[in-house]
Amino acid sequence: MVDELSSFIDKIYREPYSLLSNNCIHKSLKIKNKAEEIGRKVDLVSCVSIVPIKKWHSFPTINLHVYAEIDGKKVDVSLDPEHERIYCKNSQKKLILPINISRLGRTIFRRVRPRSSARGEA
């Protein structure tokens, strides 16, 4: 099961990054869906990322960012190997203000059990 997920994550990592069609949200959702399919606990985490651009003398860019957390371990594959050469490795991004949006969603949207009325009304 781990090998199947590891090879899938590597495949997603190697997909070319595109701000509009294959960004951190798209890639993280693909990983989340696959991990849930094979029964792993997975969450999506949103944060602010500070990413240095190597070719501009590490000039930092500030972006909203999303990554997956599988069994409590961060999986960030947003930038493909080619983009990592221009910016930085995914593991070198500075991530601040993380919010577990999956957990937040479960808390906000959890279904409330219907209460039975004290008067016996349905």
pLDDT in tens, 74-119: 999 999 999 999 999 999 999 999 999 998 887 777 765 555 555 5
Residue 120 lies in a domain: no
* Cα 117–chain centre separation: 42
Q: Is 50 exceeded by the pLDDT of residue 1?
A: no
Residue 119 lies in a domain: no
Amino acid 38: pLDDT? 93
Q: What is the DSSP letter of 4?
A: H
Whole-prediction pTM: 0.81
Yes or no: say if 48 and 64 are a contact pair by the CB < 8 Å rule. Answer: yes
Structural domain that includes position 23: 2-109
Residue 83 lies in a domain: yes
Number of domains within the chain: 1
Q: Which two tokens stand for residue 23?
A: 């960004």
Residue 122 lies in a domain: no
pLDDT in tens, 53-80: 988 888 999 999 999 999 999 999 999 9
Residue 81 lies in a domain: yes
Q: Is 60 exceeded by the pLDDT of residue 28?
A: yes
